[in-house]
Amino acid sequence: MKITYEQIKESAAFIEQQGIAKPHVGIILGTGLGGLVSSIQIIKEIDYASIPNFPVSTVESHKGKLIYGELEGKKVLAMQGRFHYYEGYNMQQITLPVRVMKLLGVQQLLISNAAGAVNLNYKKGSLMLLDDHINLLPENPLTGKNINELGPRFPDMSQPFDKNINQLLKKTAKENNVTLHEGVYASVPGPNLETRAEYRYIKLIGGDAVGMSTVPEVIVANHMNLPCAAVSVLTDECNPDNLHPVSLQEILDVAAEAEKGLITLFKKVVACL
Contact between 116 and ligand HPA by CB under 6 A: the answer reads yes
| Gap between the Cα atoms of 173 and 126, Å rounded | 12
Q: Taking CA 46 as the corner, what is the angle to CA 44 and CA 48, rounded to the nearest 5 degrees?
A: 160
Provide, rounded to whole angstroms, the least separation between the CB of residue 199 and ligand HPA.
8
Residues 6+ apart with CB under 8 A from 170: 129, 180, 182
238 makes contact with ligand HPA (CB under 6 A): yes
Of 79, 212, 218, 224, which one interacts with ligand HPA (CB under 6 A)? 212
CA distances from 269 to 38, 73, 83, 172 (A): 17, 12, 25, 7
Identity of the residue, 160 or 211, whose beta carbon is nearer to ligand HPA in the bound complex: 211
- Which residue from 232, 75, 36, 265 is spatially nearest to 165, judged by alpha carbons? 265
- The residue among 155 and 240 lying less far from ligand HPA, judged by its C-beta, is 240
Stretch that binds ligand HPA, among 48-56, 62-70, 83-91, 232-240 (CB under 6 A): 232-240
* Stretch binding ligand HPA (CB under 6 A), from 65-73, 123-131, 177-185, 205-213: 205-213
As a 3-state breakdown, the chain gives helix, strand, coil percent values, each rounded to 5, of 35, 25, 40
**Binding span for ligand HPA by CB under 6 A among 42-50, 52-60, 208-216, 219-227:** 208-216
* Residue at shortest CB range from ligand HPA: 116
CB of 195 to ligand HPA, least distance (A): 11
Separation CA 63–CA 60 (nearest Å):
7
Q: Where does this chain touch ligand HPA (CB under 6 A) — which range of 14-22, 75-83, 113-121, 143-151?
A: 113-121
Contact with ligand HPA (CB under 6 A) among 27, 71, 78, 115? 115
Among 29, 40, 130, 193, binds ligand HPA (CB under 6 A): 193
Of 152 and 189, nearer to ligand HPA (C-beta) is 189
Choices 111-119, 121-129, 149-157, 216-224; region in contact with ligand HPA by CB under 6 A:
111-119
Q: Which residue stretch of 17-25, 68-76, 78-86, 108-116 sits at the interface with ligand HPA (rule: CB under 6 A)? A: 108-116
Q: Which of 114, 178, 258, 265 binds ligand HPA (CB under 6 A)?
A: 114
How many residues would you count in the chain? 273
235 interacts with ligand HPA by CB under 6 A: yes
Give dist(CA 195, CA 129) in Å, integer.
24
Q: How far apart are CA 173 and CA 177, in angstroms?
A: 6
Rounded CA separation 34/49 (Å):
18
Helices 91-104 and 215-223, axial angle in degrees (round to 10): 50
Cα four-point dihedral sign 180, 162, 208, 140 = positive
Site map 170..189 versus ligand HPA, x via CB under 6 A: ------------------x-
Q: Which amino acid is at 81?
A: G
**Binding residues for ligand HPA, per CB under 6 A?**
114-116, 188, 193-194, 210-212, 235-236, 238, 251
